Amino acid sequence: MKAQKSTLKLILFTFGMFGFGFALVPLYDVFCDITGLNGKVTGPTITSYDQELSTREVKITFITSNNKQMPWSFKSSSPQMKVETGQDYLMDFTFTNTTNKPMIAQAVPSVSPGRGARYFHKTECFCFEQQFLEAGESITIPVKFIIDPELPKDIPSLALGYTLFDVTEEFANLQAIN
Amino acid sequence: MFRAIKFTLSLLAALTANFSFGAWDDLNMSPGATQLSQEIFGLHMTVFYVCLAIGIAVLLAMAFILFKYRKKEGVEPADFDDSTALEITWTVLFALILIVLAVPATSVMIKAYDNEEGDINILITGHQWKWQYEYIEDEVGFFSNLSTSLDKRNNLAPKDENYLLEVDEPLVIPTNTRVRFLITANDVIHSWWVPDFAIKQDAIPGFVNTGWTYVNEPGVFRGQCTELCGQYHGYMPIVVKAVSPEEYSTFINDKKEAKIQQALLTEKLWSTSELMEIGEATYQKNCVACHQVGGRGIPPVFPSLVGSEIVMRNKARHIEILMEGVQGAAMASYAEQLTEVEIAAVITYTRQAWGNAETGDGKIVIPKEILDYKTNKL
Amino acid sequence: MSAVIDSHHDDHHHGPAKGFSRWLYTTNHKDIGSMYLWFSLVMLFIGGAMAMVIRAELFEPGSQIVSPEFYNQMVTNHGLIMVFGVIMPAFVGFANWMIPMQIGAPDMALPRLNNLSFWILPVAFGILLSTFFMEGGAPNFGWTFYAPLSTEYAPPTVTFFIFSVHIMGASSIMGSINIITTILNMRAPGMTLMKMPLFVWSWFITAYLLIAVMPVLAGAVTMMLMDIHAGTSFFKAGGGGDPVLFQHIFWFFGHPEVYIMILPAFGIVSHIIETFSRKPIFGYSSMVYAIASIALLSFVVWAHHMFTVGMPIAGELFFMYSTMLIAIPTGVKVFNWLSTMFKGSLTFETPMLFAIAFVALFTIGGLSGIMLAIAPADFQYHDTYFVVAHFHYVLVPGALFSLLAAAYYWIPKWTGKMYDETLGKVHFWMSFISVNLTFFPMHFVGLAGMPRRIPDYAMQFADWNMMVSVGAFLFGISQLLFLFIVLKCIYNGKAATTEVWEGAKDRGFEWTVDSPAPYHTFSSPPSMESLKSSS
């Protein structure tokens, strides 16, 4: 009888740990959001700053990268930019679908150093949604951003990288399901 | 037991006596070429010596105990089995040793994570199975492939001292300059490691990691990919050439020139034999790994190009595959990796070689067609 | 196993059934323990054969006998088989044989579950090994199967791999539930927790670790399955996921897993050293607390496998400190073993030789572990042969030697026959010498810059690699000798006494029953009086 109670408790614990494994997924996201640990920042954030705050100059490097088998041309209009913290800025990115089929792309951002991610506020970004381009079509979209004046003094520059992924198939599947 | 030990030692001596002196040089890592690498080396040696001391102390204590307390006629074993005082003593002692080690470890860590700006920024992308280097400020870039020949790898030619550690295009950086590396990957996780700089950062698809270095003296530094990334993980080395800032400027200017020249080359008129020559070289460098020397591949994973329908009769699809890769397969897009000339040449070569020209349409492709495809005039 | 067939003088009317159905349906802990042990021995030779292929390829620079792709399959499956098919099942085999006897119980708490736990293992490994014959080849992404190499870029057999891992996990979880329930509910009267034999303690804690982390592994491979087949993006950056998340989840399992593979070894070694020093284990309670604290700490060190992944400095420092901390209870155990032998009366039969070698060589492995814990230095060690040297030291002259020691120690009790002591010593010395010849030079090539998981290497690593390969071939041959010794013992060994070892007197219930141990033991619980108090 006692043995049965032990067994039952242990079985429950097992399922609990399985659930914990899956809970690690949102937990990781929450942890990374709060700390900006993996350089990902999701969604638009604040749009303007109190002008009284002291500002400094920061160098921003823009990186564009294509994931495997994503043949689009993807470039920023300039590789670097010197900015003042607390001010709005804009950088244009040009996407060209160089294939002969319509495609859907997802740009995934990554800020380096990861610690700086939470100070890099994107007010408008093409990475918030997918980009659909017809064969041969080209589009230029800006990323609008503000660097938080509270960026720690020991981070003099930030790199914002975008990796472009082909998500045409995933969306086709979703369409099919709906 | 002691006879056994003597035998073992003489056996080991006999075995190792035949090794060249070189073997004994490679017992430890190198202090490297930067201040950070030397600090890490110093930390490594400190921790090593502490561990060595602990190890020798334990082994000596053991040897003593094993010898002194062998069962002897008429000698009874003691029966004590506890001593809280002793337990606390060695716990505290060991903890103190570790705390002492943690202090320099922490300070070196802080130095390694230094976020100071780089004077130049280089984007490093790991691909299956090569590295891509792009100089962000100067907007030039290139791929870096293993250049050790297949003959050497297949034991048909003698190997030299840079076997598996040589590339066609090394990464060139200036000395006395703070260089920042931004590291990512194009497909699976790779890892960029140059032991002499003590930099090792994983290259993760979709994410950017940072590293930095400051090299004082010119030199050539070699490293390897250090994260399993597929079958040719062991065949994507890293070579960094640190040169004077003047030489570096010349290098960058040469690269910019070459970029302009490439564009011009694409426009010129090409003969089939010129294309075939470049095509064959391009094939040897970029395609043999999967499609093999005779073009037969390793089906079904790596299709045969000999007698292939696409290679023989479908020029449009042939170009498309080179430019876009094949979804869900190992064939990558070569639009970034090869110039228009190289792509046109390698397509021409495969359409002509191995009897494909006789049995197929034998159509050639000129660089202009590739440029047109890119700008979508096709 | 044949010991029980031989005891025809035993007039117990509950004799075992005959033929194959005996083994298929048995719920007897001794039978099941034997099956686990034979299974793990077979897997040792299969995983060992893969190691031989690896070392043959690495004997000299250049491509030798296998393609780089097949080499990756060998590396991957060598790891999977040794971890999940040898070390873990072997320890479970000893748990099955010895825990009921050591606590004075007639069998495990859940005998039919016990049978199921064993029999799904050959199924799991049948599936895994059959992938070698499938299109695309066997899994080739390392035993740590990082995404996306193991998801988007994996061969089609990855699905079978996932299925196989699920089954292995189920086996471990069921076995652990059984072990904990047995230990909590079936101890002889008077055997409080702090009077339990150390092997039982080590398995008690290991079983909790298993139940805590195997389900997390199951979660990780399920997420992989979903990413591959159901369009999710747990580990795909393009879909909003993160490949590094895989590493966190995997190592949250992976680090406790390696302690799972060593804690029972600690228990075994304590017993053997006690017996052959003829002196009680020094610091019983410290030993228990040490095992417990190692187990607890093992949950907060996982990211020391990920120092180069781009973690922020706070994370790197935290995991460096916690990893250094875990060295302390481990060190305490080593000092306690030495203190047990100190002023004892030592003899050096084969089990003791393996146990002593364990202490010495595990210490070396532990010290290289301390070096690896130093995060900035780890930038130079990570994913090189220095790591390979470290974990092989703690797993081979560590875990495997403890298993061999335990086999020699308890085989006379199981079979009623003594093994050939001279051959046992030959096996020991061959193993000891070849294991060091094989794994010590790996420290050197790792420091000199040789990465892991490569089928070919630069010239400066050649000399040491040749020595390593020679050592490995010798080590493989030495284990064939072990097989011979076991078979010779079973079919031709001299009769063993009840006590078996002079120093084992009064040190455990297992030494109070006949040799060979009757098919059913302790049908009524024994009295604690029959044991010298060892706590």
Which residues on B lie below 8 Å from A66 (Cβ)? 186, 336
Average pLDDT over residues C134-153: 95
Which residues on B lie below 8 Å from C374 (Cβ)? 43-44, 47, 101, 105
Which residues on A lie below 8 Å from B186 (Cβ)? 65-68
The range of the structural domain enclosing residue A6 comes to 1-35
Residue showing tokens 């294309």: B275
Determine which helix (DSSP H) or strand (DSSP E) holds A57, and give its type and residue range: strand A57-66
The 3-state DSSP class for residue C333 equals helix
Residues A61 and A107 in one domain: yes
CATH number at residue A89: 2.60.370.10
Average pLDDT over residues C69-78: 97
pLDDT digits 0-9 by tens, C89-120: 999 999 999 999 999 999 999 999 999 999 99
Other C-beta atoms within 10 Å of C134: how many? 12
Q: Which of C31, C57, C107, C227 is catalytic?
A: C107
Say which amino acid occupies B39: E
pLDDT attached to residue A38 = 61
Report the residue of A42, A57, A65 to disrupt the B interface, i.e. the one with the largest count of B CBs within 10 Å: A65
Partner-chain contact A24 C219, CB within 8 Å: yes
- Alpha carbon B127 to chain centroid distance? 11
Partner-chain contact A6 C184, CB within 8 Å: yes
The b-or-e profile of B349-370 (16+ CB within 10 A means b, else e) is bbbbbbebbeebeeebbbbbbb
pLDDT band at B6 (very low <50, low <70, confident <90, very high): low
The residues pairing with C227 across neighbouring beta strands, listed in sequence order, are: none
Residues A101 and A166 in one domain: yes
Percent of residues, chain C, with pLDDT higher than 90: 91
Higher pLDDT pick, B259 / B142: B142
Residues A111 and A85 in one domain: yes
| C-alpha–C-alpha distance, residues C63 and C435, integer Å | 25
Complete domains list, chain C, with CATH: 22-534 (1.20.210.10)
**In this structure, what are the phi and psi dihedrals at residue C411, rounded to the nearest 5 degrees?**
-60, -40
Q: Which of C76, C151, C172, C182 is catalytic?
A: C172
- Nearest Cα to Cα of residue C471 among A61, B311, B15: B15
Q: Is it the case that residue C384 has pLDDT exceeding 50?
A: yes
Residues A20 and A83 in one domain: no
Q: Which of C55, C304, C390, C392 is catalytic?
A: C304
Higher pLDDT pick, B262 / C210: C210
What is the SS3 string spanning chain B?
CHHHHHHHHHHHHHHHHCCCCHHHHCCCCCCCCEHHHHHHHHHHHHHHHHHHHHHHHHHHHHHHHHHHCECCCCCCCCCCCCCHHHHHHHHHHHHHHHHHHHHHHHHHHHHHCCCCCCCEEEEEEEECCEEEEEECCCCEEEEECECCCHHHHCCCCCCCCCCCCCECCCEEEECCCEEEEEEEECCCCEEEEEHHHCEEEEECECCCEEEEEEECCCEEEEEEECCCCCCCHHHCCEEEEEECHHHHHHHHHHHHHHHHHHHHHHHCCCCHHHHHHHHHHHHHHHCHHHHCCCCCCECCCECCCCCCHHHHHCHHHHHHHHHHCCCCCCCCCCCCCCCHHHHHHHHHHHHHHHHHHHHCCCCCCCHHHHHHHHCCCC
Residues A158 and A90 in one domain: yes
Average pLDDT over residues C170-180: 96
Partner-chain contact A71 B324, CB within 8 Å: yes
Percent of residues, chain B, with pLDDT higher than 70: 92
pLDDT digits 0-9 by tens, B159-192: 999 999 999 999 999 999 999 999 999 999 999 9
Q: What angle do CA C487, C492, C496 make, to 5 degrees?
A: 100
Residues A88 and A66 in one domain: yes
pLDDT digits 0-9 by tens, C359-378: 999 999 999 999 999 999 99
Annotated active-site residue C382? The verdict is no
- What is the rounded average pLDDT for all residues in chain B? 89
pLDDT band at C16 (very low <50, low <70, confident <90, very high): confident
Task: Report how many domains make up chain A.
Answer: 2
**Rg from Cα positions in chain C:** 23
- Chain B neighbors (3+ CB pairs < 8 Å): A, C
pLDDT attached to residue C7 = 44
**In this structure, are residues B148 and C51 in contact, taking their beta carbons and an 8 Å threshold?**
no
Residue showing tokens 């503000």: A146
pLDDT band at B322 (very low <50, low <70, confident <90, very high): very high
Residues A94 and A72 in one domain: yes
Tokens at B239, concatenated: 């070579």
**Helical H segments across C232-312, by residue range:** 243-260, 263-277, 284-297
pLDDT attached to residue B335 = 86
Residues of chain C numbered 254-313 and touching chain B (CB < 8 Å): 277-286, 308-310, 313
A66–C contact, CB cutoff 8 A: no
Q: Which of C55, C271, C305, C413 is catalytic?
A: C305
Nearest-by-Cβ selection for C377 from B43, B66, B83: B43
Residues A13 and A28 in one domain: yes
Note the pTM of the prediction, 2 decimals: 0.90
C384–B contact, CB cutoff 8 A: yes
Partner-chain contact A110 B327, CB within 8 Å: no
pLDDT attached to residue C529 = 86
Partner-chain contact B207 A154, CB within 8 Å: no
Annotated active-site residue C390? The verdict is no
Nearest-by-Cβ selection for B208 from A39, A96, A135: A39
| C-alpha–C-alpha distance, residues C354 and C451, integer Å | 31
Which residues on C lie below 8 Å from A13 (Cβ)? 211-212
- Nearest Cα to Cα of residue B127 among C483, A68, C320: A68
Each of the 178 residues of chain A gets a pLDDT tens digit; together they read 678 888 999 999 999 999 999 998 888 888 777 666 666 655 555 656 666 667 889 999 999 998 887 888 899 999 999 999 888 899 999 998 887 788 899 999 999 888 888 888 888 888 888 889 988 889 999 999 999 888 888 888 899 999 999 888 877 776 666 5
What phi-psi label fits residue A67: left (phi over 0), alpha (psi between -120 and 50 degrees) or beta? beta
Partner-chain contact B27 C444, CB within 8 Å: yes
Residues A43 and A13 in one domain: no
Q: Which of C257, C274, C316, C378 is catalytic?
A: C257
| C-alpha–C-alpha distance, residues C422 and C419, integer Å | 9
Residue C66 burial by Cβ neighbours in a 10 Å radius (0-12, 13-18, 19+)? middle
Q: Is it the case that residue C144 has pLDDT exceeding 60?
A: yes
Nearest CA in chain C to B84: C283
The residues pairing with B205 across neighbouring beta strands, listed in sequence order, are: B185
Residues A81 and A110 in one domain: yes
Q: Is it the case that residue C301 has pLDDT exceeding 80?
A: yes
Which residues on B lie below 8 Å from C459 (Cβ)? 159-161, 163
Q: Which sign does the torsion angle of CA C452, C454, C455, C457 carry?
A: negative
Nearest CA in chain A to B134: A63
Residues A12 and A75 in one domain: no
pLDDT attached to residue A97 = 87
Which residues on A lie below 8 Å from B207 (Cβ)? 38-40, 110, 161, 163
Q: Is it the case that residue C11 has pLDDT exceeding 50?
A: no
pLDDT attached to residue B109 = 95
pLDDT digits 0-9 by tens, B365-375: 988 888 888 76
Angle in degrees, 0-180, between the axes of helices C350-373 and C421-448, rounded to the nearest 10: 10
Which residues on B lie below 8 Å from A102 (Cβ)? none
Average pLDDT over residues B83-92: 94
Average pLDDT over residues B315-341: 88
pLDDT attached to residue C505 = 86
Report the residue of A10, A168, A177 to disrupt the C interface, i.e. the one with the largest count of C CBs within 10 Å: A10
Partner-chain contact A112 B210, CB within 8 Å: yes
pLDDT digits 0-9 by tens, C258-280: 999 999 999 999 999 999 999 99
pLDDT attached to residue A169 = 81
Annotated active-site residue C305? The verdict is yes
Higher pLDDT pick, A124 / C156: C156
Tokens at C267, concatenated: 């228990």
Annotated active-site residue C107? The verdict is yes
pLDDT digits 0-9 by tens, C469-483: 999 999 999 999 999
Residues A58 and A77 in one domain: yes
Strands (E), C300-358: none
- What is the rounded average pLDDT for all residues in chain C? 94
Q: Is it the case that residue B19 has pLDDT exceeding 90?
A: no
Nearest CA in chain B to A111: B208
The residues pairing with C74 across neighbouring beta strands, listed in sequence order, are: none
